[in-house]
Amino acid sequence: MPMIEVADLRKDYGSFRALDGVSFTLDRGEILGFLGPNGAGKTTTMKILTGFLYPTSGRATVAGHDVMENSVEVRRRIGYLPEHTPLYDDMTVSEYLHTCGRLRGMAGSRLAERKQAVIGLTALGAKARAPIHTLSKGYRQRVGLAQALLHEPEIIILDEPTVGLDPNQVVDVRAIMREVGRDRTVILCSHILSEVEAVCARVIIINDGRIVADGATADLARQHAGAPLYRVQVEGSLAALTAALQQLPGASQPVLAQAGGSNYCIEVSIAGAPVDAAAAIMAAVNSVGLRLVALEPRHATLEDVFRKLTRPTEHAA
């Protein structure tokens, strides 16, 4: 049985359709990156899965429990860290986690043991007795993550968990995500695509309420790469370089990637590129008397795929 099963999910807000036939399944131990531009339907999907919203139509189950028919059981199995973590600022970290545990029906030695476990996992030991209002953004995120993990949920949903964190804190939170993802299902919603590539084995991209891509993170870049892309760095005239490359069959409009002094680095794709596309680029550079500094293929990234699949259309509002 899949840990999460979503079938033909739709959600309407008046005349606006936020979700339009979303379907996917997620198994135990998967770490999924759930991506989309603002307004694409990510948050609506997460709110339906966590029982905060009901769908207009369609069906969603969590660990076999229908989100509409058995919302309480669904919530017991999910740990949720929203983008803006709601915390009680007048409590200490320990008091807040104790309160969260009691609200979830935990008590006695189990609650005490789980508090210590999540405090250790999120490196909150030095702040356990500190009032939450004194904590930095990074530590507040750790507290939110600790409460999401406290009741040992089977599914963890994290919405922008590293927003506002410094690079060291980001590395720490990524390590925690990998650790909890060893035996739990994790959904990561993030606009930081490098983070998704670093943590998630699978990605779903949603746009205008519909899923536009679903697959292994590494495979998506190959599937949606488009024409081969080359990065060309020369010493000399940018105008001459641009004109030379535009003469190549199938060449796109060159895009300036970097400039410094008389050195220019541009990116150009070659549609239907032959095996000797690199040789053709070198010949074009030499033909206008420029000195080639570097030439390398640039492999498509998750960011390239995201931009290709979610770029606004001309008729979009």
| Domains recognised in the chain with CATH numbers | 4-221 (3.40.50.300), 229-298 (3.30.70)
d(CA 204, CA 4): 14
The answer to whether 297 and 275 are in contact (CB under 8 A) is: no
SS3 164: coil
The amino acid occupying position 84 is H
Question: Going by C-beta distance under 8 Å and a sequence separation of 6 or more, which residues neighbour residue 138?
Answer: 164, 165, 166, 169
d(CA 201, CA 280): 36
- Residue 142: is it exposed, middle or buried by C-beta count within 10 angstroms (0-12/13-18/19+)? buried
Cα-based angle 111, 117, 123 (whole degrees, multiple of 5): 130
d(CA 203, CA 195): 12
pTM tops 0.75: yes
First-to-last C-alpha distance (Å) of the chain = 40
d(CA 149, CA 272): 49
Distance of CA 82 to the CA centre of its chain: 14
Q: What is the pLDDT of residue 314?
A: 42
d(CA 282, CA 315): 40
Q: What is the pLDDT of residue 316?
A: 40
Stretch (H or E) spanning 204: strand 202-207
The answer to whether 217 and 302 are in contact (CB under 8 A) is: yes
Q: Structure tokens of 265? A: 């680095």
d(CA 235, CA 262): 6
Q: What is the pLDDT of residue 227?
A: 65
Q: Return the DSSP state at 24.
A: E
Tell me the average confidence (pLDDT) per consecutive run of 10 residues in the chain, 317 residues long.
Answer: 94 95 94 92 92 94 93 92 88 97 95 96 94 92 93 92 82 85 89 87 94 90 72 87 86 76 80 73 89 83 84 51
d(CA 250, CA 272): 7
Give me the phi and psi of 132, to 5 degrees please.
-60, -30
SS3 110: helix
- Residue 57: is it exposed, middle or buried by C-beta count within 10 angstroms (0-12/13-18/19+)? exposed
Q: Is the dihedral of CA 299, 303, 306, 309 positive or negative?
A: negative
Q: What is the pLDDT of residue 190?
A: 87
d(CA 197, CA 235): 34
